[in-house]
Amino acid sequence: MALKVRLRELIYDVYERRLRRQLRGARAPRHVGVILDGNRRWAKEAGLDIAHGHRAGARKISELLGWCREADVEVVTLWLLSTDNLNRSSAELDALLEIIAGVVDELTDAANPWRVRIVGALDMLPTETAARLSAAALRTEGRTGMQVNVAAGYGGRQEIADAVRKLLQQHAEAGTTIEELAEFLTVDHISEHLYTSGQPDPDLLIRTSGEQRLSGFMLWQSAHSEFWFCEAYWPAFRRVDFLRALREYSARHRRYGG
């Protein structure tokens, strides 16, 4: 068994070096979004409890960020908790929220260069969790490292609704009428109020676990994104999988409707 594992590791090492050579001088995405899917199925198939799967997935995040930094990615958005996930059992949800808060604490540790932004409807999260996430993100202000968006309590439709609500409130406070707003409203006005305002839209969206749908992830921002779907569950996602995604992205010709 040990020999078989070692042989597989050698094969992956050779394959990884090959991928790296293929990516030399290749166009890299500025913004990568990742749907970290498959923690629960990975745990079940391994005969472990669900919380163990979430913890294994959490440990994988720091590896991914290291790979992204090596690839000169500027922004990474990690979808850790959807608005739909809030309907899970209280036992699983409580454990998951604690794991997410722990991940954010680690990402915002002084030893890390990341600038962290929490993107999502924090008012839908428990007050204590929302406050902990917000406080952690504040600790990274002024850092110059890669931008890391942590999507918690996130849903694409909810984000658009929140953006429109903020837009209407802003113009109501300024005395703008609905008729006046309707005359000059553009997509840029809505974009300015998204959770990711001021950031480039994702060039590449990755989803693990074999599912081939966005499930509401970055609906507005992904209008021109490239999608890459991976069969591996998130805890089993490897560097070679990430490099394959980058290779696929670099090979695509992005026309933007032209």
Mark the binding-site residues, compressed into ranges.
Answer: 37-42, 54, 82-84, 88, 207, 213-215, 226
Residue ranges of the binding site for Mg(2+): 37, 226
Per DSSP, the three-state class of 175 is coil
Q: In what order do the strands lie in the sheet with 204-207?
A: 115-119, 147-154, 75-82, 31-35, 204-207, 226-229
d(CA 115, CA 131): 17
Has 85 been annotated as catalytic? Answer: yes
Is residue 109 annotated as part of the catalytic site, yes or no? no
CA dist list (Å): 249 to 65, 224, 255: 18, 13, 13
Burial classification of residue 30, based on how many CB atoms lie within 10 Å of its CB (0-12 exposed, 13-18 middle, 19 or more buried): middle
* Chain position carrying tokens 């008729």: 179
Please state the residue numbers annotated as binding site for substrate: 38-42, 54, 82-84, 88, 207, 213-215
Sequence-distant (≥ 6) Cβ neighbours of residue 204 within 8 angstroms:
29, 31, 32, 33, 225, 226, 227, 228, 245, 246, 249
d(CA 52, CA 148): 24
Catalytic residue among 49, 85, 105, 162: 85
- Catalytic residue positions? 37, 85
